[in-house]
């Protein structure tokens, strides 16, 4: 359907080499976009590129640094000649009680989850503005909405991602750039496999606490990525969409 057609578009997906990022990248590739996968792990990058096809390429970069974020946009322009869609998905977590985090760990998490999104969006803005528009999709979390006792810096970073989305959306609406956020519920990825080891009872709590009665899968995020990357969402900006099996809808 032409409203969702991404043919000829170039989509950068940070953290697109696995988990949720790869689920979103699959949707974008199916929609016709050429995907630029960004991650630090060369082997994972190669695996994702091989799977995605459609002229997909990988860029090895740490998007928590200004130089890394800038290199992503530069490389996408050099290799693909345009940048239409930016998915700020790269992120990580360290789970412990708030009082046990070092300042270094706090800064590491804020940089990986929040500063990375700001730096990539900032780097992409000039290119998108010059082209007359673009789509930026940030990845928040249920912790953008709710507290988690074992994830204070993560929650602070993800609350920040949701707020950053609104500010960028307002600032760049006149440039034809839509900025939206996706709030995944509990999704089965490497990140949450580790969480299941770290947090006792987590698996049962997720299944019981999610109205859909299951963990989400990376491909559950494919469709929302296509919607927010396509002309179908041209009047949608500054919003955050839960993709959570109903988790955020309940009291």
* Residue spans of beta strands (DSSP E) within the chain: 10-14, 34-39, 57-60, 85-88, 134-139, 177-184, 240-243
Toward ligand NDP, which CB reaches closer, 31 or 68? Answer: 68
Toward ligand NDP, which CB reaches closer, 91 or 134? Answer: 91
Toward ligand NDP, which CB reaches closer, 113 or 180? Answer: 113
| Pairing relationship of beta strands 134-139 and 177-184 according to DSSP bridges | parallel
Of 70, 180, 183, residue with least CA distance to 123: 70
Toward ligand NDP, which CB reaches closer, 173 or 217? Answer: 217
Of 218, 197, 221, residue with least CA distance to 19: 218
Evaluate whether 222 touches 20 at the Cβ level (below 8 Å).
no
The residue whose two tokens read 């697109």 is: 16
Toward ligand NDP, which CB reaches closer, 89 or 230? Answer: 89
Burial level of 131, CB count in 10 A (0-12/13-18/19+)? Answer: middle
Burial 28-65 (b: 16+ CB within 10 A, else e): bbbbbbbbbbbbeeeebbebbbeebeeebbbbbbbbbe
Residues of this chain that bind ligand NDP (CB under 6 A):
14-15, 17-21, 38-41, 44, 62-64, 89-92, 112-113, 116, 139, 141, 184, 186-187, 189-192
To ligand NDP, the closest distance from the beta carbon of 145 in angstroms equals 11
Say which of 86, 120, 153, 154 is annotated catalytic: 154
To ligand NDP, the closest distance from the beta carbon of 62 in angstroms equals 4
Of 166, 213, 223, residue with least CA distance to 25: 223
Is 247 annotated in the active site?
no
To ligand NDP, the closest distance from the beta carbon of 185 in angstroms equals 7
Residues designated catalytic = 154
């Amino acid at each position: 359907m032409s409203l969702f057609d991404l043919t000829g578009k170039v989509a950068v997906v940070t953290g697109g080499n696995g988990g949720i990022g790869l689920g979103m990248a699959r949707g974008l590739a199916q929609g016709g976009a050429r995907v630029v996968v960004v991650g630090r792990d060369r082997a994972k990058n190669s695996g994702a590129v091989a799977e995605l096809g459609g002229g997909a390429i990988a860029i090895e970069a740490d998007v928590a640094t200004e130089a890394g974020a800038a290199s992503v946009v530069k490389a996408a322009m050099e290799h693909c000649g345009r940048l239409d869609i930016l998915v700020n998905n790269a992120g990580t977590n360290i789970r412990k009680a708030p009082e046990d985090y070092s300042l270094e760990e706090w800064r590491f998490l804020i940089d990986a989850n929040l500063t990375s999104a700001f730096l990539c969006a900032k780097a992409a803005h000039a290119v998108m503005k010059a082209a007359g528009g673009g789509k930026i999709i940030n990845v928040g979390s249920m912790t953008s909405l709710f507290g988690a006792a074992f994830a204070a810096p993560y929650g602070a970073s993800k609350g920040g991602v949701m707020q950053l989305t609104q500010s960028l959306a307002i600032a760049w609406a006149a440039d034809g750039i839509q900025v939206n956020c996706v709030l995944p519920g509990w999704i089965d990825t490497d990140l949450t496999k580790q969480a299941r080891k770290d947090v006792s009872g987590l698996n049962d709590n997720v299944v019981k606490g999610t109205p859909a009665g299951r963990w989400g899968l990376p491909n559950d995020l494919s469709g929302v990525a296509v919607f927010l990357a396509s002309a179908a969402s041209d009047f949608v900006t500054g919003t955050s969409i839960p993709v959570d099996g109903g988790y955020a809808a309940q009291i």
